[in-house]
Structure 1
C-alpha cells in the first residue's frame, strides 16, 4: 500500500427531509448565493424547500448553470458574488452545479485571471465557504474538492482541485432524485461506476481493504442500477445509489493505491468538442481502453471479473475478455451506448480529440503514464 494522508471534512446529511438540518450549518448573517441549474427544482418542490431553508438570510439567486458548467456562465456568477458581497454559496443540483459553485468560490478572491485556476494550475489561496443540496447522484462532487469546468469558446474542459472548495455539508435526500429523467439515472450510475474503476483498475499494491471497498460499490451499482430504471421511486434503491455515488469519489477508496483517470481525460475532450454527456463519453472510452491496456491491468481485470461479475475462467485471456464484455454489457443495460458511431461520430472525431489532448498537455495518461496519443488513437478507433 502506498503512503497517504486522508481527511474528509464534508458533513453528510443523509435521508429524507435532512435539509431541515442544514440551516444551522450556514454561517449566521451570511449573504448567500443560491446557485442552481434549470427550472426542474421549481417543478419538483426542491426550490421551495431551499427557500424555506434560507428564510431570514439575505439571498441572491443565480440560475442557468449548465450540465458541464461553462466558464462563460460561471464568470457571470463570480461578478455577481463580488457585487453582492456574498459570504456563502449554496449549490443545489447535480455535480455540475456543485462543480460550478466550487469554481465560483475559488474565483471570487483569486488574484488574477480566474481562468488560470483551470488552465495553469493557479493556486487557490482562499475561497468562499459552500454547501450543497444534491439532486443527482453521479459525480461525488458533494464531498470532495474537485471541479471540472468547460470553456466553450476554446472547447476546453479542464479540472482543478483544492481542499478550500470542499463543501462544508451536503444534503443527500434520496427523495430529491425521484423525478430524474431516465437518462440522468442511467448517466449517474455509469459515472459513479467509472469513478470507482479509475481508482481500482490499475495494478495490485497489497491494499485489500481498498479493493473490497471498491468492489462493494461496484457490486451495489450493478445490482441497484437496473432496479432504479425499473422503479425510479423506490426509496431504498435510490438511497443505495446515492450513497454509492458519494462513496465512489469522496477520496476513501483511492487512498494508498495508484489511480488512472485516463478514461476521464479522453472523455472530457469528447464532451468539450461534441457535447456528449459526461457518462456517455466514459461508456465509449472505458471498454476499449481496458482492452488496449489489458496486459498492464491484467491482475485487476481478472479480479474485477471474479469478484464483481462472478466470472471464473481458467484461461486468463478468456477471463479478461469476458470481464471487459461484462462492463460494456452493464453500460448498455443502463441504456448508455458504448460506441462512437452510436453518437454519429466518425474517425474524424478521433483526430480532433487527439489534437485537443495535445493542446491541453494531456499526452501521458494513465497510472503508468504510458497512454500516449498513439494509444489514445488506438483506443478510440476500437471504440468506433
Structure 2
C-alpha cells in the first residue's frame, strides 16, 4: 500500500551486515524481478528507461557477486541498497505497461509451500522467460545482450535468448538460489491448484503475454528439472 511507503528515509548500508547470505540472495532476486516486471513490456519508444533498467540490473548482479564473497562489504551494500530503491520506486516503470505475471505466479508457491519469495522467483522467472520469449524475441535478445553480455549472430535470436536465460539461471545458482521446482520440494500434482489460484482474483496474469490457467501450469512445469534440461 502507498500508505506503507516512507515520506523520507535514510538507508544505512551497515544495517545490512546482519543479513544472512540466504536473505541477501533472496533480496537480490526480488529486486531484479521488480525490474523485470517493468522491463519486459509491449510499450515502445522506451530507450531511456530501458537503459536505466539494464544498468540497474548489471549493478545488482555485479555487487551481489561481491557480497557473496564478503557480506560486510560496505560499498557493495551501498550499491545494492540504492539499486533496491530504484528497482521499486517506479522510476523504471514510468511510461511503460508493466507485467507482474511472475510475481502473481510465485505468490502461489509461497502460499502453499512457504518458500522464500526470492527463491520462488528464481525458479518461476527463467521458466516464464522460456515460455513467453518465442513471441517477444526482440526484448529478450536486448536483455541477453545488454544485461547478460551474450554475444552472437542476430540472425540466430533463439540461441542468444537461450544463452541469456541460461546465464541468469547460473547467476541464481551462484548465489545459492534454487532454479527448479524440485529444489523447493514442490510437487507437480499441486500445479493445477496453484495455477487456478494465481488467476482466480483478477483473471489472466501478466501483460507482455496474457497467461491463463493452462499457461501458468505450463510455466510451472517448465520449472521442473526434467523438462528444463530436456
Gaps of 5+ in 1: 1-160
Deviations 1:94-113 (A, max 9, x none): xxxxxxxxxxxxxxxxxxxx
Aligned equivalents of 1:308, 1:192: Cα separation in 2: 15
Aligned equivalents of 1:197, 1:344: Cα separation in 2: 25
Match of residue 94, structure 2, among 255, 266, 272: 255
> Secondary structure of the equivalent of 1:203?
coil
Give the alignment of 1:121-132 within 5 angstroms. Answer: none
Once structures 1 and 2 are overlaid, which stretch shifts more, 181-190 or 347-356?
Answer: 347-356
Give the alignment of 1:271-286 within 5 angstroms. Answer: 271-286=110-125
RMSD of equivalent CA atoms: 1.4
Match of residue 30, structure 2, among 191, 206, 211: 191
Deviations 1:41-87 (A, max 9, x none): xxxxxxxxxxxxxxxxxxxxxxxxxxxxxxxxxxxxxxxxxxxxxxx
8 Å contact from structure 1 (residues 228, 234) kept in 2:
yes
Aligned residues: 222
Match of 1:371 in 2: 211
Aligned equivalents of 1:204, 1:228: Cα separation in 2: 34
Deviations 1:246-290 (A, max 9, x none): 100101000011211100000011111110100011111010100
> Secondary structure of the equivalent of 1:375?
helix
8 Å contact from structure 1 (residues 202, 297) kept in 2:
no
1:368 Cα offset (Å): 4.2
Higher relative contact order (CA 8 A, sep 6+): 2
1:297 Cα offset (Å): 2.8
8 Å contact from structure 2 (residues 39, 53) kept in 1:
yes
Match of 1:245 in 2: 84
Aligned equivalents of 1:192, 1:284: Cα separation in 2: 15
For the pair shown, the structure with the greater C-alpha radius of gyration is 1
Gaps of 5+ in 2: 225-230
Flag the structure with higher strand content.
1
> Secondary structure of the equivalent of 2:9?
strand
TM score, norm. by length of structure 2: 0.92
8 Å contact from structure 1 (residues 221, 241) kept in 2:
yes
Flag the structure with higher helix content.
2
Match of 2:56 in 1: 217
> Secondary structure of the equivalent of 2:98?
coil
TM score, norm. by length of structure 1: 0.56
